[in-house]
Amino acid sequence: MSPRLPWSGRFDRYLLGVFFVLVIPQFLVGFISPPTTSLTGIQLGILPVASAWEWTDYVVGGNNDEDDAIGRKTLSDAEISDLRVRDLKRRLTRSHGYSPNELDRMLDKKELMAVLSKEEMKLRTKYRNKQGRKLLWKALLIAIMCIVSIVGWPLWVQLSEVTAVNWQVYYDRKRHEISQCLEFRSGKGVVGVTLLAILDGLRFWLSLTVLLSWILPSASPYRRYMFPIPSLPIRPGQFMGEKVANGPLGRYGMNIAPMAITWSMGFVRGKIEYWTGKALSAAARLMRKEARSGETEEERKARKAAKKAAKRAAREEQERKQQEVWEKETERRKEAAQKASDDLFGAAKSGSGTQPGQDESEKQNDDSTIPNNDYDYAKREFEADMEDLDDMNDLD
């Protein structure tokens, strides 16, 4: 694994902060209120005209919101005063739904102007209230994301580091596999490694799709970039009797298509990985055979002798380490047995030192005819372990 640069940690932190403060709130605002497009700009080429604050318009092409369009095309009082009577009536009929009978009862132009001005004011108020709600949601989301990014900063840093480590491990493994394929000149290995990389990408795409399906609404434009998962539902209500099956609970189910696709990908990946390993192994054997085809008898004997010497040295090293382990274990058990003996007989010897007839008490304590089950059991266990050690040494 390549070492991280000193400035890499600070750069990751700055990049993560910018991502949370600028990108994530704009992305989440689209879930609550879709971005709006500007109707006053000029569309150039295939790039949709977008607001200066909504970068998602360049990704999904914006959304035609009728209320926003009507709110931006409302007439002011000065513009209404310049209209003719027929224009006033046409505006009231087409934009505000007035019937001819209602317009016939309005004989004065000032009355028509007052009614149209009132209706246009309603549309402007509705549009401003909607824009205010959008700005409020946007401010709340930005505030929440800032709080989460600041309070949970150690968690995000740890998450980014874990992700970087996992990616580095995956990259190193794939690079090693490709280098092995090139070293052994195996075309089948290259195909297998490529297929494994494609399957890993598809599995990651499927996992990300399942995760986002719990967040994105069904009408979200971002669903076009998600993994195409078929509908394969299992409805438990269908197995609970006719009454439940025909009721509302009978329509609820769980889509098992993601699990089936994941299992299928895992099964296919295992087969491809096994096939790739066999192809690389066969290529390695063929390369060794080709390398040994030009050997002489003396070179072959020298190679086999070196191989045997290496095996013998490895076996001796393993036996030496095993002997050291057994010696340490023997010393530990001797110390444990000695400590148990001192705990059992040391107190009796120290307690009898101040009383008369010390020699007689020591003789009684040292008498081997006094039964001591704990000490005898520990001694027998130690002797059995020593016999097993001697048997293993004889086998070696």
CA-to-CA separations, 48 to 59, 65, 122, in angstroms, rounded: 9, 15, 30
CA distance 17 to 11: 10
**pLDDT tens, position by position, for the chain (396 residues)?**
444 444 455 555 656 665 555 555 555 544 444 444 433 333 333 333 333 334 344 333 344 455 555 555 788 878 888 888 888 888 888 888 888 888 877 878 888 888 888 888 888 888 899 989 989 998 998 999 889 888 888 988 898 999 999 999 999 999 999 999 999 888 999 999 999 999 999 999 999 998 888 888 888 888 889 999 888 888 877 777 777 777 777 777 788 888 999 999 999 999 999 999 999 999 988 888 887 777 788 888 888 888 889 989 998 998 899 889 888 888 888 888 888 888 877 655 555 544 444 444 444 444 444 455 655 666 677 777 666 655 555 544
- 0.75 exceeded by the pTM? no
Contact between residue 215 and residue 318 where contact means Cβ atoms under 8 Å apart: no
- Classify 255 as helix, strand or coil: strand
CA distance 43 to 201: 36
CA-to-CA separations, 377 to 86, 333, 340, 348, in angstroms, rounded: 117, 13, 11, 20
270, burial (CB in 10 Å: exposed 0-12, middle 13-18, buried 19+):
exposed
Contact between residue 78 and residue 64 where contact means Cβ atoms under 8 Å apart: no
Q: How many residues does the chain have?
A: 396
Considering only CA atoms, which of 234, 237, 231, 236 is closest in space to residue 213? 231
Contact between residue 57 and residue 177 where contact means Cβ atoms under 8 Å apart: no
Place of tokens 């055979």: 289
